[in-house]
């Protein structure tokens, strides 16, 4: 039986749907719905010209008010990459992937332009940080979609922000430039995995934000996800604090993950880098 778009949506969300049941599973929509995370790569190289094309695709993403507040660092020095990988030993694919990029929010250029044109800049506020962060995220996603369209696989690494000061020094980032995430890029050595998403009854709203039955919907999602790929006992987080759970779903995993402080110094880092955050 030929797959339909509805089949891909069902697999992505783990729930039956008739949406797209008349559309063949092909083309850009199918590629997006079938996209996978890849953490194992073949030895095939990603050549410089292709990488330059993909970065051009990434930088073609939408940009808030044409401010273009994103920059990309290509990390191709082996020693530099090895040092970054040593900070995150649980993610060996950082050093194993053929290419590793760091995507940054970059608010420095508009400040330079203001000085060049002798204009005041009375907008030193949190919104300026948000604009740069969103721009960088859009560029990374556009790059990822372009890379996947030519057979590459990617894996974003937000964990680099856990060593944000050391990383910024290593990459010699100037003030008003901050890393958003790293990205592993390469030709997959094996099929990646499709991560099941929360139901749209939780994430899509019509005219107003719907708050009914959220606990029940999260629990049902936990159960569907566990049926497809249960998390082994060895991978349960924070076992010393919380023990071994009889049922370990998405909500148990994520609440354990965020039950301890993460990157508490991020605001201080941003202020030290020139963001007033007013």
Count of CB atoms situated within 10 Å of the CB of 199: 16
Tens-place pLDDT, residues 169-184: 999 999 999 999 999 9
Residue 137 predicted with pLDDT over 70: yes
Give the domains, in start order, of the chain with CATH numbers: 1-34 (no CATH), 48-192 (3.40.109.10), 198-258 (no CATH)
Report the sign of the C-alpha dihedral through residues 264, 268, 270, 272, in that order: negative
Supply φ then ψ for residue 108, to 5 degrees: -75, -35
DSSP string computed for 111-167:
HHHHHHTT------SHHHHHHHHHHHHHHHHHHHHHHHHTT-EEEEEGGGGGGHHHH
Q: pLDDT, tens digit, for every residue of 197-234?
A: 999 999 999 999 999 999 999 999 999 999 999 999 99
How far apart CA 125 and CA 278 sit, in angstroms, is: 4
| 64-85: average pLDDT | 97
Integer-rounded Cα Rg, in Å, for the chain is 21
Burial class (CB in 10 A: 0-12, 13-18, 19+), 141: middle
Provide the whole-model pTM.
0.95
Tell me the pLDDT tens digit for each residue of 96-136.
Answer: 999 999 999 999 999 999 999 999 999 889 999 999 999 99
Mean predicted lDDT score pLDDT of the chain: 96
Residue 73 contacts residue 106 (beta carbons within 8 Å) = no
- 160 with 173: CB under 8 angstroms? no
* Residue 142: count of CB within 10 angstroms of its CB: 20
Asked whether the CA dihedral 3, 155, 53, 103 is positive or negative, the reply is positive
């Amino acid at each position: 039986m030929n797959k339909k778009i509805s089949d891909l949506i069902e697999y992505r969300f783990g729930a039956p749907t008739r949406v797209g049941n008349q559309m063949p599973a092909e083309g850009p929509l199918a590629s997006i719905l079938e996209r996978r995370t890849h953490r194992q790569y073949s030895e095939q190289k990603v050549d410089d010209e292709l990488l330059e094309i993909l970065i051009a695709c990434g930088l073609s993403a939408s940009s808030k008010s044409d401010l273009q507040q994103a920059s990309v660092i290509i990390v191709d020095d082996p020693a530099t990459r090895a040092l970054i990988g040593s900070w995150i030993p649980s993610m060996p694919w950082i050093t194993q992937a053929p290419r590793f990029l760091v995507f940054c929010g970059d608010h420095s250029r508009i400040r330079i332009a203001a000085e060049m044109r002798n204009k005041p800049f009375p907008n030193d506020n949190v919104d300026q940080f948000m604009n740069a962060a969103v721009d960088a995220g859009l560029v990374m996603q556009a790059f990822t979609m372009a890379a996947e369209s030519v057979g590459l696989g990617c894996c974003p690494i937000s964990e680099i922000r856990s060593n944000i000061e050391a990383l910024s020094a290593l990459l010699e980032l100037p003030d008003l430039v901050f890393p958003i995430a790293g990205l592993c890029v390469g030709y997959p050595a094996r099929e990646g995995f499709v991560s099941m998403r929360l139901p749209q009854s939780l994430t899509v709203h019509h005219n107003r934000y719907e708050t009914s039955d959220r606990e029940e919907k999260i629990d049902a999602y936990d159960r569907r996800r566990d049926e497809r790929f249960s998390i082994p006992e060895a991978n349960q987080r924070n076992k010393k604090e919380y023990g071994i759970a009889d049922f370990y779903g998405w909500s148990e995993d994520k609440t354990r993950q965020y039950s301890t402080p993460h990157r508490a110094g991020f605001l201080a880092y941003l202020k030290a880098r020139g963001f007033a955050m007013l």
